[in-house]
Structure 1
């Protein structure tokens, strides 16, 4: 199938353009220097290209008519030319760009200076980001172990991001911000190219799929106020933008091959380009290794194909398809004593995990006028999560009996229609972003199956699954946000989102003593609500600004919240979605290309948290009741500063370029109110977690680093200094025997990475992660893939060769 797709792409990349015109030219600076990678756009159309390595560009298949050509390049004043193109005519339009100091949009420094995180422009494609706390992680700016999706390095410059380092294979991403849980990034709204890639953001938002970082162009992060345009979750939006087809050339072929200790082999291969109206991309990655711990193994395959075609100068359509298959052996958890003795050991040798993942999307972009445009995305997921293993407490020995099998099947589809327009009220030049969303998701959850006694990855079971449930979620939403610009330095944003969510559960909740299915009590619930938000920006200078926003947020009732752990337990029929709000006040900006900074105060209010308490029924029997019990608040300061002293103070930089960064976060996440109950001598004793620190929320997340570059050589060093945290909401310090509760100690870990470009087409990448071989952990797991302490990887190294050919 993959070979057929590639053949189809190449056949489509050689169309005929008879009777259609061509515009071509070259782009240079005032000093006669060619400018490769400059953006060339036909204003009011979907057509655009980039200049090649010689600064040349060509726009083919153009209908007769008048055109306005806009050329822009970071650090230069944009230039516009107008011309009239006749039928079949070939016109030449050369551009000379003037150097400027004010940069627009996302800043990219090509030669020297700061190469860290950047910020989104006020309007990012079809969404409004003005007034919001946001970051753009540009992967090309990082010296990091991208072959292994090393989260510690990738998010090093993003303040307040906590990372669960319990999956050294790089298959799954576990990150969070502002005191929220990093569990498979489920407090973020995780998307790829603007569409959902989680099993079900309304019922099961865990991110089981993470794209290979070698194909990711950038990661866009918008904190809390993103809820107005994207919906859940409290953590905001995390959007992986894949590398788009190269629009400066017909064919780009790239191969990145990496090896390292513990049997690491990674091969990433990419083909892409543009020919006339057609652009295409395809990649394949194979990654496998034994892992740092005993009984660890991973074998992953990623493939992706993308086509886009400009049907006309105003309409562009596209299609994407992504497939992942993983095979992963899980080493399981450790007790505190076992971790202290040897963190690499494993007491589980028969635990396996696999999650085949298919994602697809169809897109259309239409330019209505120079001031208005429309976007439609249809997307879907067909996926599976399967595990088999011995998952009882780590204090129990695995005697090679039958293993537990759990399997989920996910089927989702949805669509988002977005509209963006610029409009005037008197002299105010304003922008409106509005849209509609539809989503439908189904989860088939099969749990507690009796599996084989073997050691391999085999998900066959004996008899029936104990639980066999179906969860269905549907979601309709309408949203709108506007920028009002009463003056040049000031803008104000106002927005609202209307949500309607329907949730249904049915199926089998257990098995009788005779092995017969016990039907679950069907559950249905619907709710509608409105989210409101507002923000503002005030320019202190052309490149610095104050920003602030406040917006309501929510988190839907999850599928797991509707599932009673025992048939006697009760779910509150009035169980509500968690609601609250986010507030930001910050100051950010850039000074030339030697200083970037962002300092902010945040306040996150998280109400209606779901919990379980004990109650007594009319017969005097005690049962567990799941309802809305909790309220927490996270607040603190975040700061990111990156400075290049050589760019600021030295003109010629003969010694190379040096940049240093600090990413600092002080976070206080506390329960304001959370009712609890416990059983003492058969009696229910009530308590409250008020004043307790939220679990998995370190109060200090600091990272520092320095990068040196000269010509083709670049070297980076960073240190992560992370504070201690608690594994449970009761703030237990002394660990229990099973190591599922207790303190998660503070730690410091260092990384060093580098690259050397020795040919135009060749680059060597290398590095050592956890340079000093620290023994630490970030997670105490209460269940799979534990339970117990899940150690982070010790010292590992990697070296890779990247080859890139352009035709």
Structure 2
């Protein structure tokens, strides 16, 4: 398993730009098949990765529950990964690192094949769509200074690179079918190949199940088709389209008492979510000067929706049939419609200066996104998925949002000698957000229209990365990069949840810096150890405060700027081939130990706030301060470790995860509230066991299976203020899966 590493090799003098193609080819060939995780070369396509912490993960080479997109297993080698585990359907992926919010991965710039897939990259960056991991060739994580090339997000880049058709076959068929606990059925079927100058790949994926909790059924369908036509030796035209349709039943949140009594119970039987997602894209790829110059143009769009219907009253309110009417209460209907169009032009060019060959990466971006949001419609009293409205047949809130973004960036990889490289960079973003609509209605039914809003921003970001080659297989890296997070349009108006929004929200700004040492030693040790510092100004988050003008003891969750947070910590990853490190005989079986450790300190700085202390007539509003309070959803320790035994076609992995305690709000509320939306999130430990057996000629047959949460630990990773709660959202207990795959 530790047969090699795509670590950056020594930067070397090249007499001519024509040698660039040869160097890039050699860098690519250093990557050894069979290694599930490795580091990127200094230049990957049109992206400079030198001097940044980066991971490239191949899901197919990981023993994991791919049918349910189990990120706890697939990304186990990423230090500090925080996963919100509350969706057994595998459809909603909620991940983050470095103390950032995992909410639908919105602190990352989430992409598929290099283009945006979230609802609105700058207005509503929630990624409701994620491709099935059986279709993903590799996952690219680029942190640190990634914002200069892919956008201003603090989290960096998360890019799903989909498979393409076989280069050496006209037709290749792949099928994988899996069954599991709670009625899980998963089927992935693909066909691809190369005919003449045309490479093609298409798949259909279906996943369904009843979920670990009652009222948790799901049905997910994915379709994708892609084709690349080599018009000339240098010019390739590509087109692809992805479509998702799903229907997810949400069992609601639990109070702490309910969770302690039975974490598997459900409080909601009539809550549903559906997010149909259509992603078309056209690409143009041009290579010149024997690969020394590469130009790519990606034009992409989005036609999508977010539809929910349910009983959304906070806990402990029950959703029961009324004795008076003999029926359920009317449900709430909320709908979003997204229409986006964008284009990105990227260029990498190798040039000679002072006897060295350097690389310029630059790009332009144009993007426009529009959202039509309808909230708090009065829906049916039924139990099925029904988005129809009852009297008065209209929505209480309705808004139109638009985002216009133009951007330009440039980075230069400067090779100073044979070992040292420096990469300075700049990025400029123009942002314009508009909103118009109404919030509620007067007694006579007229709309309470809000003033039309338009915000313009001119944002200049800059950064510097450095890399020093210590040996042929190891290097030191360091970087500094500015980051920016605009106020989202969802923050400007009250959402369809229990949260209350501060009307005076400000954009968040800051920077990240990191230093680390990584590499490969004699093909049996791979490691990456680093320290990072993240400064986040005007961070937007939640505090619990007294309701203004409310009764004594009444509180609310308030979304506002919480001042500055400073996060720093150690991130360490190592993977050791135990047998080969002792014997040096790579013909023997593999026994690989891996560990990914994060020690994190994320705290608020000076920020005066008020809070309610006491209850009843003794309740008092007192002034306090968030200074030294821990950032919410930021566990101080995260450790994922495991052993993999591999010999010939058999691979077995046992994995253990420990995640330290965290808090659900910036006040670091210890005692849970009655509605369970704030309070401590206890530490938890969970173990997984997975196996894969590849058989037959060219390993065309594949058996896989495993147990997730082997010891049936009962834990939760999230307290939700609204969808898909509100309240505690339990993680799944013990489940199993088993599948058979075939490739012809």
Is residue 545 of structure 2 the alignment partner of residue 608 of structure 1?
no
- How far apart are the structure 2 equivalents of 1:271 and 1:624? 49
Identify the match of residue 109 of structure 1 among 19, 32, 55.
Answer: 32
CA contact (8 A) 1:564 1:571 kept: no
Identify the match of residue 607 of structure 2 among 674, 684, 690.
Answer: 674
Deviations 1:116-139 (A, max 9, x none): 420111011001110011111111
Is residue 443 of structure 2 the alignment partner of residue 536 of structure 1?
no
> Which residue does the alignment assign to 1:704?
641
- How far apart are the structure 1 equivalents of 2:271 and 2:667? 30
Q: Specify whether residues 448 and 258 from structure 1 end up closer, same or farther in structure 2 by C-alpha distance, changes over 3 A only.
A: same
Q: Specify whether residues 107 and 259 from structure 1 end up closer, same or farther in structure 2 by C-alpha distance, changes over 3 A only.
A: farther
- How far apart are the structure 2 equivalents of 1:110 and 1:604? 34
> Which residue does the alignment assign to 2:575?
642
Q: Specify whether residues 531 and 653 from structure 1 end up closer, same or farther in structure 2 by C-alpha distance, changes over 3 A only.
A: closer
Q: How many residues are paired up?
A: 702
> Which residue does the alignment assign to 1:405?
333
Cα RMSD between the aligned structures? 2.5
Is residue 514 of structure 2 the alignment partner of residue 571 of structure 1?
no
- How far apart are the structure 2 equivalents of 1:653 and 1:599? 26
- How far apart are the structure 2 equivalents of 1:345 and 1:242? 37
> Which residue does the alignment assign to 1:517?
447
Deviations 1:447-481 (A, max 9, x none): 11111000000011122111000111000001000
- How far apart are the structure 2 equivalents of 1:684 and 1:365? 62
Identify the match of residue 677 of structure 2 among 740, 753, 767.
Answer: 740
- How far apart are the structure 1 equivalents of 2:583 and 2:611? 66
CA contact (8 A) 1:615 1:625 kept: no
> Which residue does the alignment assign to 2:709?
770
> What are the residue-to-residue correspondences of 1:580-619 with 2, within 5 Å?
580-610=510-540
> What are the residue-to-residue correspondences of 1:648-659 with 2, within 5 Å?
648-652=581-585, 656-659=589-592
> Which residue does the alignment assign to 1:97?
none
- How far apart are the structure 2 equivalents of 1:107 and 1:408? 46
> Which residue does the alignment assign to 1:482?
412
Q: Specify whether residues 438 and 157 from structure 1 end up closer, same or farther in structure 2 by C-alpha distance, changes over 3 A only.
A: same
Is residue 393 of structure 2 the alignment partner of residue 456 of structure 1?
no
> Which residue does the alignment assign to 1:389?
310
CA contact (8 A) 1:116 1:642 kept: no
CA contact (8 A) 2:438 2:448 kept: yes
CA contact (8 A) 1:722 1:748 kept: yes
Give 1:669 deviation, angstroms.
0.6
SS at match of 2:666: coil
Give 1:141 deviation, angstroms.
2.0
CA contact (8 A) 2:251 2:267 kept: yes
> Which residue does the alignment assign to 1:216?
136
Deviations 1:686-725 (A, max 9, x none): 4321110001110011001111111221111000011010
Give 1:627 deviation, angstroms.
6.3
Q: Specify whether residues 664 and 678 from structure 1 end up closer, same or farther in structure 2 by C-alpha distance, changes over 3 A only.
A: closer
SS at match of 2:470: strand
Q: Give the number of the structure with larger relative contact order, counting CA–CA contacts within 8 Å between residues 6 or more apart.
A: 2
SS at match of 2:213: coil
Give 1:249 deviation, angstroms.
1.3
Identify the match of residue 722 of structure 2 among 776, 783, 805.
Answer: 783
CA contact (8 A) 1:190 1:239 kept: yes
- Scaled by the length of structure 1, the TM-score of the pair is 0.84
- How far apart are the structure 2 equivalents of 1:615 and 1:333? 23
Q: Specify whether residues 303 and 159 from structure 1 end up closer, same or farther in structure 2 by C-alpha distance, changes over 3 A only.
A: same
> What are the residue-to-residue correspondences of 1:50-65 with 2, within 5 Å?
none
> Which residue does the alignment assign to 2:5?
none
> Which residue does the alignment assign to 2:47?
127
- How far apart are the structure 2 equivalents of 1:604 and 1:707? 33
CA contact (8 A) 2:436 2:451 kept: yes
Deviations 1:379-415 (A, max 9, x none): 0111000111111112001132101111111111100
Q: 5+ unaligned residues in a row in structure 1: which ranges?
A: 1-67, 80-102, 618-622
- How far apart are the structure 1 equivalents of 2:603 and 2:722? 24
Q: Specify whether residues 699 and 107 from structure 1 end up closer, same or farther in structure 2 by C-alpha distance, changes over 3 A only.
A: farther
CA contact (8 A) 1:106 1:120 kept: no
Q: 5+ unaligned residues in a row in structure 2: which ranges?
A: 1-17, 321-327, 550-555
- How far apart are the structure 2 equivalents of 1:78 and 1:461? 58
> Which deviates the most, 508-517 or 606-615?
606-615
CA contact (8 A) 2:500 2:558 kept: no
- How far apart are the structure 2 equivalents of 1:721 and 1:518? 49
> If you compute each CA radius of gyration, which structure gives the higher value, 1 or 2?
1
Q: Specify whether residues 746 and 624 from structure 1 end up closer, same or farther in structure 2 by C-alpha distance, changes over 3 A only.
A: closer
Give 1:611 deviation, angstroms.
6.0
